[in-house]
Amino acid sequence: MRMGAFLICELTCIVVVCISAVAQSQGQVASATGPSSLVGDSPETTLPLAHDVSPVLRRRDIEHAMRKVADWQLARTPNLGSDWTFAVLDVGILAAADTLKAPAYRDAVFRMAQQREWRLGTRTTHADDQAVGQAYLRIFEQRKTLEMIQPARKQFDDLKQQPDDPSAPVWWWCDALFMAPPVWSGLSRVTGDRSYLDYMDREWWITSAKLYDHQEHLFFRDANYLDRKEANGKKLFWLRGNGWVLAGLARVLENMPADYPARDKYLTQYAEMAASLAALQQPDGLWRTGLLDEPAYPLPETSGSALVVYALAWGINHHCLSRAKYAPVVEKAWKGLISHIYEDGRLGSIQPIGEKPDAFRPTSSYVYGVGAFLLAGSELTRYATR
């Protein structure tokens, strides 16, 4: 059985999180490790909510909310990290840089990448340590400097020679489908080498065969949750885990050629999950950490909700989802997300690092949730201009 261990040290409401989750059965690790970083915190005090943000889906209003949240985050963490928690923020900051025409945002990610010499994490097979490659690829697309992708390419060239083992998936937890596949598919797109995409395709469906529920059209977090139930007796599906997968599908599909043989399989899974998640949206526009037992988790969760909004808006923009059916979902969800921005720009109601539904404070804010919010906002600006 894989077991996770998390060490959280609190100092005056600031949590410095060192993530180290170890998978005993295969010697794998469930979450990226790295230098201690200011990943997030959960103040006990009541904070004033923002009154200068609007839920209206107008481009200027979306951009204002994005800038408010991004500026708050970068003031707290001007030196961005590269573990999985920051990798999500990094791609969100880059998306915001493009949307808001804010080169200072892009420069913050570029400094991190230069300091790391464009290297991925030290665990070569682990999805969490590959996630930062998404930021490297985005910068490479804009600057076309080969050194930006050479370390990832060399590492992946070695990995794709390793044999597959369906009984021991390399991406054994569903979060991994956001962390690694967009890097593999993105590297295939920028290099024209389809072997990276073929590797990703094999591994995606090995993981899907283990974790995808064909009745609920949702993913279990990992094999440890296949038989677990909520208090109401229903299956246990974690919002953020499914948000990772749906957003990962959107990012993979964006990288995948229209004529790729397996593309229709991805589109089918994407449409199935989109329909299931849309049906589980709550009256406040957001989703709960436990998808099938909402009363047990009264507080809405914004990181998973933002990932869902990003993926659904992407589907509308790319004509993979019906605008008539899904526009009300994303519009209601954006209104819900905006309601959790605080006066100083903090985005709250983000579940701390974990692997299952759990309780948290309304003020809880973590970098990966901010990254997801910025991805959602960037995609919605394209939606709003249509």
Q: How far apart are CA 249 and CA 224, in angstroms?
A: 23
3-state SS class at 362: coil
DSSP-assigned letter for residue 341: B
**Which residue of the set 41, 175, 201, 222 is catalytic?**
175
Distance, in Å, from the CA atom of 338 to the CA atom of 250, rounded to the nearest integer, reads: 23
Which helix (H) or strand (E) covers residue 28, if one does?
strand 28-31
Structure-token pair, residue 201: 């395709």
Active site residue 157: no
* Residue 303 contacts residue 240 (beta carbons within 8 Å): yes
Beta-bridged to residue 22, according to DSSP, are 3, 29
- Contact predicate 40/351, CB 8 Å: no
DSSP per-residue letters across 252-275: HHHHS-TT-TTHHHHHHHHHHHHH
Burial pattern 26-36, b for ≥16 Cβ within 10 A else e, equals eebbbbbbbee
Q: Is residue 64 within 8 Å of residue 338, measured between CB atoms?
A: no
* Residues belonging to the active site: 175
